[in-house]
Chain A
């Protein structure tokens, strides 16, 4: 039997369960795709192909693509030929968003979802992956993908796998029984027992390896038919490594057939006509019969592809760099000569030329960069735009390149690109739209990346003063307001916007909303903020992707801030959770960072410090990787306050060590940077310093117009035992804001200051209604104590019970206000020892020296003593200890 005949009759064996899954998923529409995971050679490609053919027999149409490093170099590289021609034809719209939409429309028009086979899906370029994810999510295609389970998984694939509309199948090696059946069927007759054992052992059930072993031993005639029984008469090939076997097979290919294989290694798919120019008909025929290539037909075009992705990998590895570059250049020239019918052909040409080290069309490179940008593939954008800019620098190339550098966290490099371009525009004094994009990108980088808000403001102001049109000025003015709000100046932002003329132009209106909604929220104009955020989001969505605007999710962040203050904590949490899910699915770290920040904030308000701590930690990590120093500090402050409220002093200290807030900090939500250190000081048994830090933060907030932050800071002072110091200002704040949360905080502080049991009981109801359960629990404890002091045991007990059931929902929060005066939690001997010394007036350092402990350990013990005794000042320790003695 010839090798060709062997390849030809190599049957599919032992994968009937998997086929069954696909058939049911596709015909009953219970899923929109199947991903086959497995190591190289387990038969993923073959199975996917069999599934595709099976669905075709059921009347579905299908297309096939192989992803690889070779085609991933260009956006849409692997999918280009699958996109309907009318989508990618020359002269169609340049806007990538439009391209995505047209692709979706074209697939939708197909009737039953097209079956899309994508081999080595993990190697897809990010743009193709983004498009594919959209198509799958909308049920427009049925995906059959193969994924190498030993490969690195890009974020996008992860999102696809986690989608409940995509079924994941892990394909293992074949069982021994299946190997026996396969050999029997493939060889066409009984196989000798020791031959089966040898092949089973050498292949370990890897189908491709098994096939290559059979082919190799057939070629040497070591495996032959003896009296009707297939018998191994010699040794199997010494190497049992798949790659080496395949390489050996590729090496034995006719010299005449090589050009086609090499071209395929570089470009994955070539037209049949072109393949016939490279090699003879007979050579192609031989390659096809040996399974090295396959001929595919779609859209009436016949093309040649490699029979297995591994061939491409091995061929590319064997080509030298120069040979590869020459092949790419040839291929680019060939596609161009034959007429690049499709837009993406052009992108591919540009990208190949770039990789081949040849001069290429700058406009094409930029177009490719914009397509990649739409899919958030900033590494690709950076590569393409940098090449375009080096070849011929323009404002456009500077903008695309600089923005990508900023997105990748290379802030100094971004300024090095954007700065000169912006300065040149300033000198020219003849502003064009691209100049405004440059100024905007530069200002964003200066504000967020380099933390130079004043320079950011100056860049924006200069750009605004240079534009003649009022629409452009309105847009830039909104950007200036953004700098104010995101550098911690909500009052200035609002004043600036109030003095600005009304805006009609849609893009400028959206830009204005991006600044105005959070400013209104932080300034305590809750309902106005909600309205602005919702209007901004709907207008932004209607606008589509127009560039120079942040992610539409920023409106949602503002809406969550406003909902929090509006006291709709459950809604705020749900919305924040939703945007987090979207950001995770999209694989975009910056929106994810914002989502985790607001999730941490809202979760803490609901009274779940442990969950909130996890959100803040995730946010800090994301902000660390994206370079958002300001957000990282805020998140760490959050980690600190949560850890302290859980009684974990060491974690609080570690988290807040690097925050170091200073008065006049010019960062987003700067006053809230003081909350983490404040609680940490309390956890270190220094309540006086805790209150000082919180007070400084509150003063900062008052000065800059962070009314909601101010109310948070002041309320925490009340919770740490000094309600009388803050009640009056909290009431003032409640009066100028329309926030139920702020109002309830004021009521709480006032009732605490008056030790008014029934007012505190009301506050319990109010906080419970908002969903702020820790605050409610603390108010209930205080109410119980007040009733008990007033001699009303019945109400005191009722409140005590209520507080217990509330605390049970607060994840082991250990705040001082949860300790009732009536509680007696025994002190350990060490705690009593330290408390007694502290009551005598010794500092932590003195106690530490005397007891041979570290000062930090002493503080930790003291903090627990404070909590157990329900005191908040060192001065109260003596009395509290004395009361304990009396009780005892």
Chain B
């Protein structure tokens, strides 16, 4: 990632913060539409899960500049997700849904540059998570 991209991702997180519940709600709706069998990986009541989603995004985005912390966190997250039954295909779906719901919530603020920055960031996160999953 370029420094500009890192900056873009972090500042968009701040923009998202007041709308985080709406974002998380829409995110899971879209995810379960695209990957219905992913629903079983989550609890019946998603309230807490929605909070966790944004918290995780927040922390990991802010960790990007500190690469070792970031990689360590992502790998740990990936290893954890194996235990939840997350499979390879879910990473692809997660990425697709993330970008489209970010666009929906942020509207005109979601510029092509920001979209590209998020794509690169997600690639970095998911790659590290999958490496973590592998080395479990």
Chain A residues near B (Cβ < 8 Å): 11-14, 16-17, 19-20, 54, 57, 177-178, 180-181, 184-185, 188-193, 196, 228-229
CA distance A801 to B40 in the complex (A): 61
Q: Which of B1-31 contact A (CB under 8 A)?
A: 1-6
Q: Are B91 and A16 in contact (CB under 8 A)?
A: yes
Q: Which of B52-60, B103-111, B127-135 lies at the interface?
A: B127-135
Contact among A17, A188, A191 for B2, CB-based, below 8 A: A191
CA distance A12 to B120 in the complex (A): 16
Q: Are B3 and A180 in contact (CB under 8 A)?
A: no
Q: Are B134 and A185 in contact (CB under 8 A)?
A: no
When A and B form their complex, what is the total count of cross-chain residue pairs whose Cβ atoms lie within 8 Å? 56
CA distance A196 to B120 in the complex (A): 12
Given A16-B88, A181-B127, A184-B1, A189 and B67 touching (CB < 8 A)?
A: yes
B residues near A11, Cβ cutoff 8 Å: 127, 131
Which residue of chain B is the closest to A175 with respect to CB atoms?
Answer: B123
Please indicate which of the listed interface residues A11, A184, A188 has the most CB atoms of chain B within 10 Å of its own CB: A184
Asked if B71 CB lies within 8 Å of chain A CBs, one says yes
Chain A proximity of B101: nearest CB distance (Å)? 19
- Beta-carbon contacts of B23-64 to A below 8 Å, as 1s and 0s? 000000000000000000000000000000000000000000
Which residue of chain B is the closest to A191 with respect to CB atoms?
Answer: B2
Given A16-B130, A177-B119, A185-B127, A193 and B71 touching (CB < 8 A)?
A: no
12 contacts between A and B (CB under 8 A): A11-B131, A16-B130, A20-B88, A54-B134, A57-B135, A181-B127, A185-B71, A188-B67, A190-B3, A190-B65, A193-B4, A228-B3
Given contacts A189-B67, A190-B65, 20 further A-B contacts (CB under 8 A): A12-B131, A16-B91, A19-B134, A177-B123, A181-B123, A184-B124, A185-B124, A185-B127, A185-B128, A188-B68, A190-B2, A190-B3, A190-B5, A190-B6, A191-B1, A193-B5, A196-B2, A228-B3, A228-B65, A229-B3
Q: Are A14 and B67 in contact (CB under 8 A)?
A: no
Chain B proximity of A141: nearest CB distance (Å)? 23
Which residue of chain A is the closest to B6 with respect to CB atoms?
Answer: A190
CA distance A180 to B67 in the complex (A): 14
Q: Are B123 and A178 in contact (CB under 8 A)?
A: yes
B residues near A185, Cβ cutoff 8 Å: 67, 71, 124, 127-128
Closest 5 CB pairs of A and B: A193-B2, A20-B88, A16-B130, A177-B123, A181-B123
Q: Are B65 and A14 in contact (CB under 8 A)?
A: no
Q: Are B127 and A180 in contact (CB under 8 A)?
A: no
A residues near B120, Cβ cutoff 8 Å: 177, 180-181
A residues near B135, Cβ cutoff 8 Å: 57
Q: Are B88 and A17 in contact (CB under 8 A)?
A: yes
B residues near A196, Cβ cutoff 8 Å: 2
A residues near B1, Cβ cutoff 8 Å: 180, 184, 190-191
A residues near B123, Cβ cutoff 8 Å: 177-178, 180-181
Chain A proximity of B61: nearest CB distance (Å)? 13
CA distance A20 to B91 in the complex (A): 12
CA distance A178 to B127 in the complex (A): 9
Please indicate which of the listed interface residues A11, A17, A181, A188 has the most CB atoms of chain B within 10 Å of its own CB: A181
- Beta-carbon contacts of B81-111 to A below 8 Å, as 1s and 0s? 0000001100100000000000000000000
CA distance A229 to B7 in the complex (A): 13
CA distance A192 to B3 in the complex (A): 7
B residues near A178, Cβ cutoff 8 Å: 123, 127
Chain B proximity of A230: nearest CB distance (Å)? 10
Chain A proximity of B25: nearest CB distance (Å)? 28
CA distance A80 to B16 in the complex (A): 62
B residues near A20, Cβ cutoff 8 Å: 87-88
Please indicate which of the listed interface residues B2, B119, B124 has the most CB atoms of chain A within 10 Å of its own CB: B2
Chain A proximity of B5: nearest CB distance (Å)? 8
Which residue of chain B is the closest to A184 with respect to CB atoms?
Answer: B1
CA distance A334 to B130 in the complex (A): 46
Please indicate which of the listed interface residues A17, A190, A192 has the most CB atoms of chain B within 10 Å of its own CB: A190
CA distance A192 to B88 in the complex (A): 30
B residues near A16, Cβ cutoff 8 Å: 88, 91, 127, 130
CA distance A189 to B87 in the complex (A): 28
Q: Are B67 and A192 in contact (CB under 8 A)?
A: no
Which residue of chain B is the closest to A24 with respect to CB atoms?
Answer: B88
CA distance A11 to B123 in the complex (A): 14
Given A54-B134, A181-B120, A188-B67, A14 and B127 touching (CB < 8 A)?
A: yes
CA distance A20 to B87 in the complex (A): 9
A residues near B130, Cβ cutoff 8 Å: 16
A residues near B134, Cβ cutoff 8 Å: 19, 54
Which residue of chain A is the closest to B129 with respect to CB atoms?
Answer: A16
B residues near A191, Cβ cutoff 8 Å: 1-2
Contact among A57, A181, A192, A193 for B124, CB-based, below 8 A: A181
A residues near B2, Cβ cutoff 8 Å: 190-193, 196, 229
Chain A proximity of B91: nearest CB distance (Å)? 7
Which residue of chain A is the closest to B64 with respect to CB atoms?
Answer: A190
Chain B proximity of A201: nearest CB distance (Å)? 16
A residues near B91, Cβ cutoff 8 Å: 16
A residues near B6, Cβ cutoff 8 Å: 190
Q: Are A13 and B127 in contact (CB under 8 A)?
A: yes
Chain A proximity of B118: nearest CB distance (Å)? 11
Please indicate which of the listed interface residues A11, A177, A196, A229 has the most CB atoms of chain B within 10 Å of its own CB: A177
CA distance A737 to B134 in the complex (A): 70
Chain A proximity of B7: nearest CB distance (Å)? 10
A residues near B5, Cβ cutoff 8 Å: 190, 193
B residues near A14, Cβ cutoff 8 Å: 127
Chain B proximity of A20: nearest CB distance (Å)? 4
CA distance A535 to B50 in the complex (A): 74
Which residue of chain B is the closest to A11 with respect to CB atoms?
Answer: B131
Chain B proximity of A267: nearest CB distance (Å)? 34
B residues near A12, Cβ cutoff 8 Å: 131
B residues near A180, Cβ cutoff 8 Å: 1, 120, 123
Which residue of chain A is the closest to B7 with respect to CB atoms?
Answer: A190
A residues near B68, Cβ cutoff 8 Å: 188
Please indicate which of the listed interface residues B5, B65, B67, B123 has the most CB atoms of chain A within 10 Å of its own CB: B123
CA distance A22 to B89 in the complex (A): 15
Please indicate which of the listed interface residues A17, A57, A180 has the most CB atoms of chain B within 10 Å of its own CB: A180
Which residue of chain A is the closest to B87 with respect to CB atoms?
Answer: A20
CA distance A440 to B62 in the complex (A): 82
A residues near B4, Cβ cutoff 8 Å: 193
Which residue of chain B is the closest to A54 with respect to CB atoms?
Answer: B134
Which residue of chain A is the closest to B134 with respect to CB atoms?
Answer: A54
B residues near A54, Cβ cutoff 8 Å: 134
A residues near B87, Cβ cutoff 8 Å: 20
Chain B proximity of A705: nearest CB distance (Å)? 68
Which residue of chain B is the closest to A227 with respect to CB atoms?
Answer: B3
B residues near A228, Cβ cutoff 8 Å: 3, 65
CA distance A400 to B97 in the complex (A): 67
CA distance A57 to B68 in the complex (A): 24
CA distance A103 to B65 in the complex (A): 54
A residues near B3, Cβ cutoff 8 Å: 190, 192, 228-229
A residues near B71, Cβ cutoff 8 Å: 185
Which residue of chain A is the closest to B91 with respect to CB atoms?
Answer: A16
B residues near A229, Cβ cutoff 8 Å: 2-3
Which residue of chain A is the closest to B66 with respect to CB atoms?
Answer: A189
CA distance A11 to B74 in the complex (A): 14
CA distance A13 to B134 in the complex (A): 12
Chain B proximity of A808: nearest CB distance (Å)? 47
Chain A proximity of B136: nearest CB distance (Å)? 8
B residues near A188, Cβ cutoff 8 Å: 67-68
Chain A proximity of B75: nearest CB distance (Å)? 11
